């Protein structure tokens, strides 16, 4: 999502990521009105076997109207997948994700669409991208999803209360997005604190940053500690950390060289931050 719309720069960034061992590329038809999928497609040309391609569906552009409308219908999903495949220039999608969803959606119809695409070989697996507990529970109960993309970080621990345990019990993976909390946990991200984050105010964020810097103690950067935290639960399969430059990419990639956090370190981080919880979509 963060690589921009210029093809040479985007392809260069993705190639560097692939050369460094990154193998999951997450995009969506929504990102830059499909341009992001096109750039991913150009970048993986000749390297398809090295990449897990994940994209998303559900946001529909209607000609003559501004913006997007939400459409999780079977007919739209079956047509949208063809456009994503065309833009990505591939024969199948590894992971096709519903890009949102509400409890009022025609969930069974949506599941039917994904199951049909699996049978046709156009997708290998499907999942959802959601922070709504009521929606997640329904898909866990009624579908064969393999993953839930969910916002999860030191500053957003809402998933710990019920989502992570539910997915662990059912053998479903989390793809954690936002591990550095919109830059609030990035190195030199102090200015971000002025806007707050979820229910955290500026002073709290600055204090948490100081405590995390002390905990990192020069062994890793704050953003690497944050990425490692988002990977610490057994249900988490991958962390999606955006990068718009080679420097940011290298910072993210180097988090893989930091050893997994010990139970003691995880507990210290949880004492530093707050166990916030979902209040909506019950």
Which residues are tagged catalytic?
Answer: 31
Helix axes 7-19, 246-253, angle to 10 degrees: 20
How many other CB atoms are found less than 10 A from the CB of residue 45? 10
Enumerate residues 6+ apart whose C-beta is below 8 A from 218: none
140 vs 172: CA distance, rounded Å: 8
SS3 9: helix
Element (H, E) at 151: strand 147-151
Report the SS3 class of residue 100.
Answer: coil
Nearest alpha carbon to residue 241 among 166, 197, 180, 160: 180
Query: Rounded distance, CA 18 to CA 44, Å?
Result: 9
114 neighbors 122 (Cβ within 8 angstroms): no
């Amino acid at each position: 999502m963060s690589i921009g719309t210029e093809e040479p720069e985007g392809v260069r960034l993705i190639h560097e990521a692939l050369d460094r061992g990154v193998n999951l590329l997450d995009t969506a038809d929504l990102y830059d009105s499909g341009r992001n999928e096109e750039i991913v497609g150009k970048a993986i040309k000749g390297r398809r076997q090295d990449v897990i391609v994940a994209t998303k569906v559900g946001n529909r552009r209607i000609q003559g109207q501004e913006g997007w409308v939400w459409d999780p219908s079977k007919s739209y999903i079956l047509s949208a997948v063809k456009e994503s495949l065309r833009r990505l220039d591939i024969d199948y999608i590894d992971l096709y994700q519903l890009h949102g969803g509400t409890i009022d959606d025609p969930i069974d119809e949506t599941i039917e669409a994904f199951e049909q695409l699996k049978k046709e070989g156009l997708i290998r697996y499907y999942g959802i991208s959601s922070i709504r507990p009521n929606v997640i529970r329904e898909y866990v109960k009624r579908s064969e999803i393999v993953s839930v993309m969910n916002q999860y970080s030191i500053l957003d621990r809402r998933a710990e209360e019920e989502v992570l345990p539910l997915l662990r019990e059912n053998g479903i993976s989390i793809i954690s997005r936002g591990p550095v909390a919109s830059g609030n946990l990035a190195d030199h991200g102090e200015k971000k604190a002025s806007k707050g984050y979820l229910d955290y105010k500026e002073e709290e964020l600055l204090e948490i940053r100081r405590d995390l810097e002390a905990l990192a103690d020069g062994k890793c950067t704050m953003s690497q500690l944050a990425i490692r935290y988002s990977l610490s639960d057994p249900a988490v399969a991958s962390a999606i950390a955006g990068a718009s430059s080679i420097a940011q990419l290298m910072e993210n990639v180097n988090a893989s060289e930091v050893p997994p956090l010990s139970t003691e370190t995880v507990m210290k981080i949880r004492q530093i931050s707050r166990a916030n919880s979902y209040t909506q979509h019950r």
